[in-house]
Structure 1
Amino acid sequence: MAALAVLLLVVAAVEGGAAWSFWPPAAGDEPYCLSWRVMVEANNAKNWPTVPPPCVGYVWRYMAWGQYARDVAGVADQIAAYAAQLAAGDDGLDAWVFDVDDTCLSNLFYYQAKQFGAYDPVAFKKWASKAICPGVPGMAQLFQTLRGRGFRVFILSGRDQQTLASSTAANLAAAGFAGYDRLIMRSAEYRGMSAVVFKSAMRMQLMEEGYRIRGNVGDQWSDLQGDFVGDRVFKVPNPMYFVP
């Protein structure tokens, strides 16, 4: 009854011409920041350069205090349930594609240290070259589960191949992502291309090699859009940054 009463009050306010404004509070506000995060995950918020200042604390709490880990576990459970319905062919051509940053490897401590500020390619390259990113919770186990079911797994990253290939491979191995079929990174000819265009081109190459992309996992919608995205895509939550 209480919920019905609240709903009736909301309806009455709307019908009475009350103005509902979303953007933004002057200080931290949990309901506002939750709504913003939902818009991010639904891909309704686009091209945002930084986390809104009132939500910096909220994003840290979401990422570090358990809700993020629960949400990632939910995604992993959905992937595992879907994969369990598939039978990898004897030809070895059924494949999955995984992104790297904040899909396999977590950059939380890097972004938290800079208060979730704007992307800095020089600073991020310095961070990534250290090869100290922890794994995203539960994703290495999922990765090994897919391999155990006979799927080929390709790691597709927008990181620069020339400068970050060795450190990325070392970091993946340290985080439990051993045994992938190929680490595909951005070579010089693809610099300057959007993530959607670059990753579409790389997936097209896999398809031309005969692979069937049964699933595609990424933390950015740009990992999951474009051409040859696969039979099904899975979005890992990430309210820290946006990659167009």
Structure 2
Amino acid sequence: MPLPVLSRRARVGAATVAALVAGTAVFGVGQATAEHAVPRTDKEIPNLTQVQDKIKAYYGDTVTADGEHYASPHSNYARQVRGIEAKARSYLTRALDRQHGHTAQPADAKTGKHAKKPAIVLDMDDTTLLTYNYELQVGFHHTEEAQDKYLESTDMDPVFGMDRLVNWAHARGAEVFFLTGRKEAQRDWSVRNLKNVGYGVPLDRSHVYLKDKEHPPAYLPCGATCSTVEFKSGTRKHIESLGYRIVANFGDQYSDLRGGASDRTFKLPNPMYYLP
């Protein structure tokens, strides 16, 4: 997630335009869908203040006595997330049952190999941890410095219900991997956050993958220059090479989900920003 402000994280003024013009809080391919790529008049551009107000209404903006903003569990955002989670749980019930049936089988007579262990892969920001409070604190203007300061001292809430879904899937036999564009320097803060808000799964280096531009792993041919899609799909392929079958991949950006190396993808809603 911590990427250069303009080139890698097109903020609310562009990404949310796509959502509103398309009539949905989910981005589609994440590119502006206004009538013209370059607006001919101001009437083709939603008013930025009104866009932010719609985002707050969608998340059920709740302000505490000390001025902090939080999303409501009764919001349309929370309802939409619960619907996605219900579909994911139904799918995973069947997928894990099938996969466990295969792993219980003897080794394949030709290859001598057992079926791969089932796994799920999840992005972090706005897939497992909700950035809404952070976004309101920075006025939807993300910078690496602001994110570092926030993550060092503050735990983000879990995305509504995702902690329960992840823990349930792990209890059913799925190995859980977190795959985030956060930088390697944010590892300790990220792991602390996941643990503190209830993700009761292994959170060691072999289960939590962050972006390390200084020392990129050898399994990524693109090295320090990987795009989000290259980084995430390449890491999923690496996970599969370790003997896992990724039965489900969860993300709030389409770049979290593209590139294959998963049986099924689940897109979480996020009208606050766009990552190509």
What TM-score range do you get, normalising by the shorter chain? 0.7 to 0.9
Give the whole-Å Cα distance in 1 for the aligned partners of 2:138 and 2:145: 13
Give the number of aligned pairs.
208
1:125 positional shift? 2.2
Q: What are the equivalent positions in structure 2 for 1:1-244 lying under 5 Å apart?
A: 34-36=20-22, 38=24, 40-45=26-31, 53=48, 54-64=50-60, 65=72, 66-86=75-95, 87=97, 88-89=99-100, 90=103, 93-117=117-141, 119-161=142-184, 163-180=185-202, 182-187=207-212, 188=214, 189=216, 190-228=223-261, 230-244=262-276
2-structure distance, mates of 1:133, 1:174: 9
What amino acid sits opposite 2:52 in the alignment? V
Which stretches of structure 1, 4 residues or longer, exceed 3 Å deviation after superposition? 32-37
Shift of 1:45: 2.8
1:163-214 CA-partner distances (Å, limit 9, x unpaired): 1111100000011112136111112225442211111111111111121010
Identify the range of structure 1 (202-211 vs 87-96) with the bigger mean alpha-carbon deviation: 87-96
Cα distance 1:92–1:150, how it changes in 2: closer, same or farther (>3 A)?
Answer: farther
Judging by fraction of residues, say which structure has more helix: 1
User: Residues 52, 125 of structure 1: CA spacing in aligned structure 2 closer, same or farther, 3 A cutoff?
Assistant: farther
Task: State the secondary structure of the residue aligned to 2:180.
Answer: strand
Amino acid at match of 2:122: F
Secondary structure of 1:83 counterpart: helix
| Unpaired stretches in structure 2, ≥5 consecutive residues | 1-17, 34-45, 61-71, 104-114, 217-222
Q: What's the TM-score once normalised by structure 1's chain length?
A: 0.78
CA contact (8 A) 1:155 1:180 kept: no
The whole-number CA distance in structure 1 between the counterparts of 2:23 and 2:131 is 18
TM-score by length of 2: 0.69
SS class of match (1:134): coil
The answer (yes or no) to whether the contact 1:219–1:237 under 8 Å persists in 2 is yes
1:130: how far off?
2.3
Contact 1:92–1:151 (CA under 8 A) maintained in structure 2: no
Is the 1:37–1:239 Cα contact (8 Å) retained in structure 2? no
The whole-number CA distance in structure 2 between the counterparts of 1:237 and 1:216 is 14
Structure 1 residues not aligned, in runs of 5+? 1-31
Identity, % of aligned pairs?
30
Of stretches 35-44 and 146-155 in structure 1, the one that deviates more from structure 2 is 35-44
Q: Distance in 2 between matches of 1:79 and 1:177?
A: 17
Q: Please report the RMSD computed on the Cα atoms of aligned residues, expressed in angstroms.
A: 2.4
For 2:167, what is the secondary structure of its paired residue?
Answer: helix
**Structure 2: distance between partners of 1:238 and 1:52:** 19
Quote the offset at 1:148 in angstroms.
Answer: 1.6
